[in-house]
Amino acid sequence: MIEPNDFIRAQIVSDLASGKHKKVITRFPPEPNGYLHIGHAKSICLNFGVAAESEGECHLRFDDTNPEKESQEYIDAIKSDVEWLGFHWTGDVRYASDYFDALHDYALQLIRMGKAYVDSQSADEMRSSRGTLSEPGRNSPYRERSVEENLALFEQMRSGALEEGSCILRAKIDMASGNINLRDPAIYRIRKIAHHQTGEKWCIYPMYDFTHPLSDAIEHITHSLCTLEFEDHRPFYDWLLDTLGTPSHPQQIEFSRLNVNYTVTSKRKLKQLVDEKLVHGWDDPRMPTISGMRRRGYTPEALRDFCNRIGITKSEGVVDVGMLEFCVREHLENTAPRAMAVLRPLKVVLTNYPEGKMEEIRAARHPNMPEMGERVIPFARELYIDRADFEEVPPKGYKRLIPGGEVRLRNAYIIKCDDVVKNAAGEITELHCSCDLATLGKSPEDRKVKGVVHWVSATKGITAEVRLYERLFTDAAPDRGDVDFKTFINPCALEVVQAVIEPSLAEAVAEERFQFEREGYFCADLRDSMPGKPVFNRTVGLRDSWKPGA
């Protein structure tokens, strides 16, 4: 049951209660000119969410009016993203190009009504005559062409007899309007390029502002939900449907777009990152694309939770990316099994542990979920700890291993560092330690050992590539416009290390997620990881700087 939790849902509840609509029909209308990003996730959750909550329908419709920038790759990626987020569209996938015949007929209807004309001005002439926010525009010298002449010219446009840029079809509204979007907007232009759905059938294509409202009306959409930048376009949306007397008149409602700090969500700029090879494709785990976040290890549940937390308003603002990371951690905390991985190995030899002996230590896969079962961790004389867990000259408060000091190996014994082995360059190559063999599963009675470090068997551990990801940008507002956003790219956003992982991780399948104890949450890479040769991406660290209510 839909609840009036925001102004859009409140409107829908009112419309259903009044009988204005018997069923809610929404649509998610992406342009297939790039991959979807975190901002689209908000729109997906809203459109599909309100439809599901009200037992209505939501259509997936590609607004494919610019074939020059569109591709099947983008279409396939968008469909995959929507499904991965957990949503299902009603009926078949729809395309604006499905309606090109109907849109052409509507354009002819406008011409016959004297509400559209073919303008032969150059692009520069049209731009200069459009006016400004404070000055009205000027009528085109071709504005009063007869209906017959406009019909003939539009047919020449359609047949390919006229060259690109030689003319366009414009709606005839009001060049003196205070809303620039009503100053005779373009509705058709010549583009002699094949379309990925319709092939060579058309050499004229409708403009987005003409296509969108008519596609909504054809599909009997009840609530056309879009972001605030389309608020000034709503008068043309309504003018077009009123003028043509379409069988249905959807209600356009605007909400604020999602802006996240340390993030760029312009598809044009994201494409620039891809084209200039500043990232490794649209699904690079550093990218704010849905496919990138998926590959990094974010879960659909976390993204839906994030979209629910930020809510729906008309107020523009910036959301802290830490809130998104909080949602990811919160979901993975309760779902990701535990394991140990040493990212920067330092060898430890337990000098008093019998050579050739191998123990199998059993540990829970999750401390609070016994139903996840146990894993077996091999333990022997030689093992690895992380280099960060040993300091010859420790800082104040350091609670890990030091010369002459003790720590507990997680799930295993207490060890003491007796000797530090170095190479000719003075670099530490291994530690020689003694093992308190009476401390497996229990603490000594004569002393307290506070430090705990993770470890992996040197002989049974598996070498694996681990990719350590950080935020792609170093500045909180990389897209602010006064500086090239690329200058803020974080050179440390990706570090690749050869880690040693416990054997239980060796057969991880793509997208399987784990908490590497004391390190963070990691995911087997969707592209490159395979059982027996895993590759892991760091999804997010364990520490959290954002708290609810912050």
Residue 148: CB atoms within 10 A of its CB come to 10
> Look-up: residue for tokens 């494919």?
64
Q: Which of 79, 138, 189, 257 is catalytic?
A: 257
Instruction: Report the run of H or E that residue 304 belongs to, with start and end.
Output: helix 300-310
- What's the rounded Cα separation, in Å, for the pair 14 and 305? 26
Q: Can you tell me the distance from the alpha carbon of 46 to that of 40, in angstroms, rounded to the nearest whole number?
A: 10
Output the six-digit token pair for 46. 């809203």
Residue by residue, DSSP assigns 13-43 as: HHHHHHTS-SS-EEEE---SSS--BHHHHHH
- The DSSP bridge partners found for residue 497 are 466
Q: How far apart are CA 371 and CA 412, in angstroms?
A: 22
What is the DSSP code (8-state) at residue 381?
A: S
**267 is a catalytic site residue:** yes
Whole-Å CA distances, 290 to 53, 79, 259, 333, 492: 23, 11, 15, 21, 22
Helix (H) or strand (E) holding 364: strand 359-364
> Could you confirm whether 374 is annotated as catalytic?
no
- Angle of helix 234-244 relative to helix 100-112, nearest 10 degrees, comes to 80
Compute CA distances 200 → 83, 101, 224, whole Å.
31, 14, 31
Q: Which two tokens stand for residue 464?
A: 């694996």
Beta bridge partners of residue 117, listed in sequence order: 170
How many CB atoms within 10 Å of residue 520? 20
- Quote the CA–CA distance of 7 and 131 in Å, as a whole number: 35
H helical segments located in 91-207: 100-112, 123-129, 147-159
Residue 47 and residue 27 in contact, taking contact as beta carbons nearer than 8 Å = yes
Q: Which residue has the tokens 């007869």?
A: 146
Active-site entry in 9, 267, 286, 295: 267
Count of CB atoms within 10 A of residue 137's CB?
Answer: 19
Contacting residues for 333 by C-beta, under 8 A, at least 6 apart: 515
Angle between helices 300-310 and 321-333 (to 10 degrees): 130
For the question of residue 31 being annotated catalytic, the response is yes
Return the closest-CA partner of residue 524 out of 542, 503, 538. Answer: 538
Cα within 13 Å of Cα(347), Cβ side: 12
First to last CA, the chain: 30
- Alpha carbon dihedral 117, 215, 123, 167, in 10-degree steps, equals -40
Residue 84 half-sphere exposure toward CB, CA atoms < 13 A:
22
Give me the numbers of helices (H) and strands (E) for the chain, helices first please.
12, 25
* Three-state SS letters, 232-282: HHHHHHHHHHHHHCCCCCCEEEEECCCCECCCCCCHHHHHHHHHCCCCCCC
Residues belonging to the active site: 31, 257, 267
